[in-house]
Structure 1
Amino acid sequence: MTESARSKNKTPTLPKIDYAFLEETLLQLLAIPSPVGLTDAVVRYTAGRLDAIGIPYEITRRGAIRATLKGREARPARAIVAHLDTLGAMVREIKSNGRIGIVPIGSWSSRFAEGGRLTVFTDTQQLRGTCLPLKTSGHAYGDEIDTQPSNWDHVEVRVDIPSHSAKDLTDAGINVGDWIAFDPQPELQPDGYINSRYLDDKAAVAVLLAACKAIVDSGSKLAIDAHPLFTITEEVGSGSSAALHGDIAEMVSLDIAIAAPGQNTDERAATICVQDMAGPFDYHLTHKLIELAKTHGIAHRRDVFRFYRSDSAAAVEAGNDIRTALIGFGADASHAQERTHRDSLQALADLTVAYMLSDPVARRDRKSMGSLEGFTEQLKPEEMGVSTTALPDPGEFLEADGTVSTEGGGRS
């Protein structure tokens, strides 16, 4: 093989990820409280990050961001999605003992709220506090602290003000319906482990921004338009349903992937999810991502999640006829004190860049409707041992007696 032939067959080198930028972005995102419904500040921060990179964007009425990286062709366009919103809580009750009853924002267990430091956002100020079980002190309750139930009815917030009655709380400006954000408590270790609340999904947001920066800095030209989307209501189910437009044919969600017994995810690799509780992701888009990971030597795992949904599900349920897929960073203890590793974020960033630079799954997808020509194929008859000579051509019908016609009279 000649040198020129070897050069043609060589896999292109992906643009380099600025990991220092990724890490700085992650820490700054984590420092901004953003439980669902209280996301304006994190939207403004993300918009500023896009401005600094030089990527144009639009913002929906409520704050979802749709950015644009132009490609050689406008259609079929693709979206790459990460969500800015996090879990949180809200004031449910002003209690007579001077403490606050709360309800969760999003789906998470009260056992991970216990002991958490937090901020209560009133109409006029921010107050600090701690979430505690109803019976906290062993010196007062003895063994009862170990036998009390663990649920949201059995925790309360102690606000850091002199407060012994409901009036003390209302005088401080606290009302039912005030938002509560728990401290993320981030910790980055020298060996690459990252611990924090809300890595779901701020780690993926940082990855997506770093991937966008790598493409812009490298001057790489995309094959088709790519739209980085940053959504604000994923944790309550609606997510990307409001930020898409008709040109988008493919959508890949970037989110947390679950490392746990019975799962195939690893904290030091990217995960390509084949199915979640909403059903299988698109066969062709998923396998494209698997092939990209293999081609570029990106550490990855395949997995299936039984108790998980993402922005992709919200998009399809909203009536969008698009191919969807899910890739994520491997992490332990989702919706609790989460942990991932630098290697996983790097792998996910590399896979995101590879996908954004790749060709579309099917050129036919530039139109929402079309003929059979150019339609994708999963299982080819000849590969299954089926004789193709016995099959009718497109436009012909197999009658009940085994003959072929163009009328289709034998079909109901």
Structure 2
Amino acid sequence: MNTFPAQRVVETLKRLLEFRSPTGYTDQIIDYIEQELRDYPILTLERTTKGGLIATYPGTAISKRVVTAHVDTLGAMVKEINGDGKIRLAKVGGYGWFSVDGVYCTIHTSCGKEYTGTILDQHTSVHVYRDADRKKEQPNMFVRLDEKAHTKGEVEKLGISVGDFVSFAPQVEVTDSGFIKSRHLDDKASVAVLLELAKSLCVAKVILPHPVQFYFSNWEEVGHGTSSCISEHVREFLAVDMGAIGEGQSTDEYSVSICAMDGSGPYHYGFRQKLVQLAKEHQIPYQLDLYPYYASDASASVRAGNDIIHGLIGPGVDASHAYERTHRDALESTYRLVSQYLLTPTL
């Protein structure tokens, strides 16, 4: 279990990134994860009412721990179809319009058809518009649909309507030097880590001191992912989400980030110290950091009134909520820290 299955994790991550799963449109990826875990009878699988998946691995004690990662990603929804056929969008999740300017996208219609396009500012061509470098804002952005449809009626005849989900192409690349470049590494990188770790536990038939619920949540990007469905006897709750990299931050692309505080406030001090000590003892590269504009499924669960010890870790990810990048080393560090944590007694 402590040996990092690098190739498996990266291949699993690539498969997960192929699924389009903006918040509210996650059934396919949850179905896939459930199918992947059905071959391991030691796991108890349960769908939440909100559509997430909980896979429980047994332990010897009564008190439980939750380890979670979220499958839902940023996306958009069709807000309006103009008379000239331009499709206007509303954001699903928190990002800047600048980060999706020029992004290839797919419109998922309620009738089951899918159409591709590109998200653009209406004033894009520098050969036509003097203000092509203007600020990217919602009123200026539209989908350039890859169809011969130039009126509202022609777009609607395709089956496109207000409320249809819009997903962003991940554009995945894995380099020989170990970098993974893609949209939606937040949080599919962590999902890949937990999915392969759960499988490894089953294959090795590891005896854990506490049952662990691997909670694959599907509403994190809008703030209420695992705020519900926390079962009885859960004592510790660890969110595994990306560590944000930037100026003034300690996090890097090669380590597991251990979060001391984010926009929701401090995480449990004793839990944080325990994770740091485990990283030191087992020579796991880590960075301790604070994220002022961040919240997680762990903080959502605490805010919902759950009486739990909460923590947050994850692989360092550059350019979060845009075209992201991490390294295989960060996935390994995260995998190893979660592995060691599950072998310890609760606080």
| TM-score range relative to shorter protein | over 0.9
CA distance in 2, matches of 1:16, 1:188: 21
CA shift for structure 1 position 23: 1.1
SS at match of 1:67: strand
2:75 to 88, 101, 117: 88
Q: Give the AA of the match of 2:173.
A: E
CA distance in 1, matches of 2:239, 2:73: 16
Aligned residue number for residue 29 of structure 1 = 16
Deviations 1:13-69 (A, max 9, x none): x63222222111111110000001100001101111222344221001231111111
Q: Give the AA of the match of 2:33.
A: T
CA shift for structure 1 position 215: 2.0
CA shift for structure 1 position 144: 1.9
Q: Give the AA of the match of 1:34.
A: S
Q: Give the AA of the match of 2:96.
A: S
- Tell which has more relative contact order, 1 or 2 (C-alpha 8 A, sep 6+): 2
Aligned residue number for residue 291 of structure 1 = 277
Aligned residue number for residue 292 of structure 2 = 306
Q: Give the AA of the match of 1:31.
A: E
Does residue 331 of the first structure (1) align with residue 295 of the second (2)? no
Q: Give the AA of the match of 1:333.
A: A
Aligned residue number for residue 174 of structure 1 = 160
Aligned residue number for residue 130 of structure 1 = 118
1:119 to 92, 102, 106: 106
1:322 to 308, 315, 333: 308
Deviations 1:109-164 (A, max 9, x none): 111111111110112210111111011222222x2212x23112211001111111
CA radius of gyration, larger in: 1
Does residue 144 of the first structure (1) align with residue 131 of the second (2)? yes
SS at match of 1:140: coil
Does residue 232 of the first structure (1) align with residue 218 of the second (2)? yes
Aligned residue number for residue 102 of structure 1 = 89
Aligned residue number for residue 270 of structure 1 = 256
**Structure 1 residue ranges without an equivalent (≥5):** 1-13, 362-412
Aligned residue number for residue 210 of structure 1 = 196
1:245 to 203, 228, 231: 231
CA distance in 1, matches of 2:76, 2:39: 32
Does residue 354 of the first structure (1) align with residue 345 of the second (2)? no
SS at match of 1:275: strand
> Is the contact between residue 231 and residue 243 of structure 1 (CA under 8 Å) also seen in structure 2?
no
Deviations 1:168-211 (A, max 9, x none): 11111111111000100011001011110000000000011122
TM-score by length of 2: 0.97
> Is the contact between residue 39 and residue 232 of structure 1 (CA under 8 Å) also seen in structure 2?
yes
TM-score by length of 1: 0.82
SS at match of 1:139: coil
CA distance in 2, matches of 1:221, 1:140: 66
Does residue 69 of the first structure (1) align with residue 57 of the second (2)? yes
CA shift for structure 1 position 241: 1.1
Please report the RMSD computed on the Cα atoms of aligned residues, expressed in angstroms: 1.1
SS at match of 1:145: coil
- Number of residue pairs matched by the alignment: 345
Deviations 1:213-242 (A, max 9, x none): 222222221011111101110000001112
